[in-house]
């Protein structure tokens, strides 16, 4: 496993980061979820990403149980705040967003579920247009000073939002070091604006959906029935996240990547993960798994160098199905997940 610095900080994270958005606490039984986390640890993954909203807090609970007994200093645990959680959500007017009240209440719940005294990275799950950014960043700064979060990150922020948040963080003496956007060979909306701004500011990307919700594995074929048991057939949430990629044009183009993967002795999934890691502004690619063997396979993308000529062939193969308009956001992306 290779490691990369996160932003302009001294924090190193595993370039393959394990995430439990769609699986733990909802789609996968707890024993299997724990087995996947153990497989991640065995493969050298030290960084784990979750959020209080995943499976309505259950994902944090499962992750906390799975990591119990591990040496805390050897792990990097990331979680997020923004969306409402709880059995009767939303329960009140302050149960979502990035107000000081919601941030302070949310961190306590996350720490309890994760069974830890602090998180390495606490992330704003979206930008809050209703709360003054000064209030949000002051709350984050106070959590850092209290030792409940070591670093601050965000998710799906625009270049302009990153610049404003970074400036306030600097004034407050804390580090805003990461952004967590959707990014894959098919979905490149961060490249024109977010990445150049992030490089300037010293912010890294921790990217989600590097395999485009499974589409870049090649298992979905043009004109063929959806594979039984795949994410596209899961009505509990997975189907909505992948359906916009399931056009014959996209699927036909994706099949053209198979010879490139074979030339590198990689699976299609490994090629997809390795592709995002070629971007020097990407500190980590988040992978999920419903079976331990999936983790073992995906980590083989760590350390892979794709030659320039093959990167060009990937661009040529995918052609105009690639989405790169910076005006696109996660809210309008092929999924509406809280990343």
Residues with a known catalytic role = 54
pLDDT in tens, 124-144: 999 999 999 999 999 999 999
Q: DSSP secondary structure string, 223-239? A: TSPPPTTSGGG-TTTHH
Q: Three-state SS for 108? A: helix
Whether 332 has a pLDDT exceeding 50, the answer reads: no
Higher-confidence residue of 149 and 226: namely 149
> E strands along the chain, which residues?
3-5, 12-14, 16-19, 47-49, 76-81, 119-124, 149-154, 176-179, 204-207, 282-287
Residue 218 placed within a domain: yes
pLDDT band at 91 (very low <50, low <70, confident <90, very high): confident
pLDDT band of residue 242 (cuts 50, 70, 90) is: confident
Return the CATH number at 225: 3.20.20.100
Report if residue 63 sits inside a domain. Answer: yes
Instruction: Assess if residue 338 is contained within a domain.
Output: no
202 domain-assigned: yes
Q: How confident is the model at residue 328 (pLDDT cuts 50, 70, 90)?
A: confident
Identify whether 105 is part of a domain: yes
Least confident piece of the model among 32-41, 81-90, 258-267: 81-90
Domain count, the chain: 1
In a domain, 337, yes or no: no
The residue range of the domain holding 35 is 3-332
Residue 261 has pLDDT above 90, yes or no: yes
Q: How does pLDDT run across 174-213, given as a tens digit for each residue?
A: 999 999 999 999 999 999 999 999 999 999 999 999 999 8
Report the distance separating Cα 81 and Cα 103, nearest Å.
7
Question: What's the pTM value of the predicted model, to 2 decimals?
Answer: 0.91
Q: Is residue 289, in this structure, part of any structural domain at all?
A: yes
In a domain, 339, yes or no: no
């Amino acid at each position: 496993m290779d490691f990369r610095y996160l932003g302009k900080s001294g924090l190193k994270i595993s370039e393959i980061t394990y995430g439990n958005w769609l699986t733990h606490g909802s789609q996968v039984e707890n024993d299997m979820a724990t087995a996947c986390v153990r497989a991640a640890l065995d493969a050298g993954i030290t960084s784990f990403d979750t959020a209080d909203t995943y499976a309505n807090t259950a994902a944090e609970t499962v992750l906390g149980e799975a990591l119990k007994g591990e040496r805390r200093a050897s792990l990097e645990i990331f979680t997020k705040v923004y969306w409402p959680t709880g059995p009767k959500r939303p329960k009140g007017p302050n149960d979502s967003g990035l107000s000081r009240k919601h941030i302070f209440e949310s961190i306590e719940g996350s720490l309890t579920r994760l069974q830890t005294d602090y998180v390495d990275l606490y992330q704003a799950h979206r930008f809050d247009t209703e709360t003054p950014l000064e209030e949000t960043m002051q709350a984050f700064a106070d959590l850092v000073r209290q030792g409940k979060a070591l670093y601050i990150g965000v998710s799906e922020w625009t270049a302009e939002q990153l610049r404003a948040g970074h400036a306030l963080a600097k004034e407050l003496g804390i580090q805003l070091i990461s952004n967590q956007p959707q990014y894959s060979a098919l979905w490149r909306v961060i490249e024109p604006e977010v990445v150049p701004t992030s490089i300037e500011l010293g912010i890294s990307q921790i990217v989600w959906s590097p395999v485009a919700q499974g589409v870049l594995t090649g298992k979905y074929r043009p004109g063929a029935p959806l594979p039984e048991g795949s994410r596209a057939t899961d009505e509990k949430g997975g189907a909505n996240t992948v359906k916009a990629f399931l056009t014959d044009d996209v699927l036909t183009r994706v099949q053209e990547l198979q010879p490139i993967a074979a030339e590198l002795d990689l699976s299609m999934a490994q090629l997809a993960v390795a592709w995002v890691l070629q971007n020097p502004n990407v500190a980590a690619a988040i992978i999920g798994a419903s079976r331990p063997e999936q983790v073992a396979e995906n980590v083989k993308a760590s350390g892979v160098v794709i030659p320039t000529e093959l990167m060009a062939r990937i661009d040529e193969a995918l052609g105009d199905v690639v989405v790169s308009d910076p005006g696109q956001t996660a809210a309008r992306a092929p999924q509406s997940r809280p990343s």
